[in-house]
Amino acid sequence: MENLGVSNLPDAAFWHGKRVLMTGHSGFKGSWLTLWLHRLGADVTGLSLPPVTTPNLFSEAGIGALCASHFCDIRNAPALAAAVKAARPEIVFHLAAQPLVRESYKDPLATFATNAMGTVHLLEALRGTDSVRVAVMVTTDKVYRNEETTRPYREDDALGGHDPYSASKAASEIAIASYRDSFLKARGVAVASARSGNVIGGGDWSDDRLIPDAVRAWDAGETLSIRRPDAVRPWQHVLDPLAGYMRLAAALWDNPALAGAYNFGPATGDAITVRAVIDMARAAYGAGEVAYGDGRDGPHEAGLLTLDNDKARRALGITPVQTLAEAVARTLDWYRARKDGGDAAALCHADISYVAARWPQAAHESQRRHAV
C-alpha cells in the first residue's frame, strides 16, 4: 500500500507519556533512541548490561538520567521477566544484543545465548505482561542467507548465517515469528522485526566498527588498517533506522495488521564499499593514513550485502533523509566537536534537529522519485 506522503519524523503527540521499555539502552543505538524518546516526552525504562567501552555514549550523554535505567542480563529469564512486569510497558523496543561478527567467532555460546535465547526470554516475558500493545524487535541485515548476489534482499528471502552472529540473529527472527503467530497476536500484541543495515553516527566507540576504528587511529596519528576494503554494505546514519523503528511502532499501534518483518536501509546507491566510505571519512576528517588488506585476514565475513527497503517505504512512508556523504561528514563532525570539548548530548540533539528539518524535503524527493 502506497503511503508516500507520510513523514518518518516521529510524532511527539503520539509518544508523549507512552510507557516504553527498551532493552539495550546502554548501547550505541539504544542511547540515541533513549535520548530521542525522552525528547519526545516518552516515559522510558531501560534494561541492559553496563556499557562495555570507555568512553561510551550512555555515560557521555547522561542517558541514565533520561530514563528508569536498570542493568539486567537478558540471559537471566526470571530477572528479565520481573523487570518487564514491573515496567508495565505499552511499547517495547528490543535492541540488546552481542552485535559484533568477530566477537561471535571468539564466543559463539555467549552470542547465541544473548541473541537467540535472550530474545526468546523477552518474548516469553511479553506473554505475561498484559500492558504491552506493540513490540519492535531489532535484528540485523545479516539475517539473510547471503548468496553474495547483487540483488538486494527482501523480507521474504531465506534466512541464514555463516558466522555465529548472523546465525544467532536469524534464529531470533524465527523465534519472533513463532511467538507472534503462536501467542502474541492472539493477545493483541503487534510484533515486528526490524532488519537494519550498517549504521554510523557520533558516539560509537565499539571495537571492529569502521568509523570508530578510523577516528581512534587518526586521532592517535596512527595508520588505519582495513581488512576487507572491497566489502559492500548498506550504510546509513543511525537516526534513519531509529526514526523507522519509531514510525513502525506508531503504525503498529494504529494498525496491528502491519506486524511482520521490515528492512531499514539506505537508497540502493548508498550500499558501497568500505574503501569508498573511508575515502569519504578521510575527506571529512582532513587527513588520515590507511593500509588496505587483501580481504583474506580473519574469519569469514560477507563480501556483498544490500537491502531492499521498498516494503518500509510503501507501508510506512519511511524515507532515508541523509545521503551517505552527508551521514559520514556529520559523523566525523560529531567526533571532532566532542574531542574539542562539545557536550555529547547537545551534539546528539543538534543532529536530531538537523534531520528533523530535512524530512519534509526528503519526503517530497521520495514521492517524486517513486511517483507512479
Higher-pLDDT residue of 72 and 357 is 72
Would the pLDDT of 132 be above 80?
yes
Distance CA(113)–CA(340), nearest Å, equals: 40
Nearest to 122 by CA among 89, 74, 86: 74
Whether the Cβ atoms of residue 195 and residue 155 lie closer than 8 Å to each other: yes
Dist. CA 265–CA 57, nearest whole Å: 23
Residue 364 has a pLDDT of 40
pLDDT of residue 3: 39
Q: Say if residues 31 and 266 touch (Cβ distance below 8 Å).
A: no
The pLDDT tens digits for 258-306 are 999 999 999 877 889 999 999 999 999 998 999 998 766 667 677 789 9
Average of per-residue pLDDT values in the chain: 92
Domains of the chain plus CATH, in order, are: 15-363 (3.40.50.720)
For 43-94, the pLDDT digits (tens) are 999 999 999 999 999 999 999 999 999 999 999 999 999 999 999 999 999 9
pLDDT at 198 over 80: yes
Predicted confidence at residue 8, as pLDDT, reads 63
- For the segment 8-33, what is each residue's pLDDT rounded down to a tens digit? 678 899 999 999 999 999 999 999 99
